[in-house]
Amino acid sequence: MVEMAVEERLLQVLGHFFKYDPISDKNIMVHEGLFLCIDRVVPTDKSATDTDFKYMLHVVDQQGKLSFCRAEISGDRKIQLMQQQSTLMWIGDAKADGTIPAWQFYVANESEIPALKGVLTKALYETNTREIFQR
């Protein structure tokens, strides 16, 4: 695994974090009053180039000490922003037992949705463009 360091925090919004439970077909509250962050991260390896960055979704407590979820932003993450409901949803990485977690973050302040949409668009565009050129 490559060690990564936050180069830039592009966005930080307050809200509530949920995990989808397929058995009950409901979103279960994980914690209230957390920050959803979108970070640009780079490898800590000295041989890394300028194009070795990634964008990450990161859900942390308000003190920034406890991490609840971290996921790389990529085209296959199935990220969906539902503006009317002030909700961002995404799929996590597959677990060893074959389950695939799904997450939902409810943004507390509706006025932050346009900024979230803009940063997500930038991150997905740059990520998808880089993936196309690396093929």
Q: What's the total number of domains in the chain? A: 1
Give the pLDDT of residue 49.
60
pLDDT score recorded for residue 12:
96
What is the residue range of 130's domain? 4-134
Which pLDDT does position 93 carry in this prediction?
A: 81
Q: Report the alpha-carbon distance of residue 18 to residue 72 in Å, rounded.
A: 18
β-bridge mates for residue 50, sequence order: none
- 3-class secondary structure, 96: coil
Mean of the per-residue pLDDT values for the chain? 88
Helix (H) or strand (E) holding 118: helix 113-134
Give the pLDDT confidence of 57-87 residue by residue, as tens digits: 999 999 989 999 999 888 767 899 999 999 9
pTM, 2 dp: 0.86
Residue 46 above 70 pLDDT? Answer: no
CATH at residue 62? 2.30.29.30
In the sheet that holds 102-107, the strands lie side by side as 67-72, 54-60, 26-43, 4-21, 102-107, 87-91, 80-82
In whole angstroms, what is the distance from residue 33 CA to residue 31 CA? Answer: 7
Confidence of residue 51 (pLDDT cuts 50, 70, 90): low
Q: Report pLDDT for 114.
A: 96
Widest Cα–Cα separation across the chain:
47
Say if residue 108's pLDDT is above 90.
yes
